[in-house]
Amino acid sequence: MDTYDKSMAPRFGQLLDQRLARLRAILQSEMPTESTGAHDVVDFKDMASDESIAAIDEAQSARAARDLEHVLAAKRRLADNSYGMCEACGEPIDLRRLTALPETAMCTACQSLDEHPAAGRR
Ligand SMILES: [Zn+2]
């Protein structure tokens, strides 16, 4: 199994930055208010007629906000050299999994055991 190595930090830093930029774009396009950096984006829109659209938007931006937190946490792990290790069992995460999902904090086995949305929160 190929695993993460510190020499790959710049590459993964780049991958994470790309995801960060994309998620920020999603969140900004769905937030008309100019609240920079705020992550509690729950905001009831004044468009009662567009309820279903708003609900989709809300689910999408809630997911983007959650993904954004994961990406930021991954960048912190990259900086303190704990990146690439499973948060749950401490084993190295498969490099293919990391490449596909650079913000992941858990190996495949632990992820399927623990599908808690609150996991990995600080
Ligand atoms: Zn694990």
Per-residue pLDDT tens for 72-109?
A: 999 999 999 999 999 999 999 999 999 999 999 999 99
Q: What number is the average pLDDT over the span 10-30?
A: 93
Q: Note the CATH architecture for domain 6-34+42-113.
A: Up-down Bundle (1.20)
Query: In the chain, what is the greatest distance between 2 CA atoms, to the nearest angstrom?
Result: 53
Where residue 48 falls among pLDDT bands split at 50, 70, 90? low
Ligand 1 centroid from CA 5, angstroms: 17
Ligand 1 centroid from CA 4, angstroms: 14
Whole-angstrom Cα distance, residue 117 to residue 62? 12
pLDDT at 122 over 50: no
Q: Which residues contact 74 (CB under 8 A, 6 or more apart)?
A: 16, 83, 102, 103, 104, 105
Ligand 1 centroid from CA 98, angstroms: 13
Residue 43 is predicted with a pLDDT of 54
The answer to whether the pTM exceeds 0.75 is no
Long-range contacts from 47-50, C-beta under 8 angstroms, 24+ separation? none
Whole-angstrom Cα distance, residue 46 to residue 62? 18
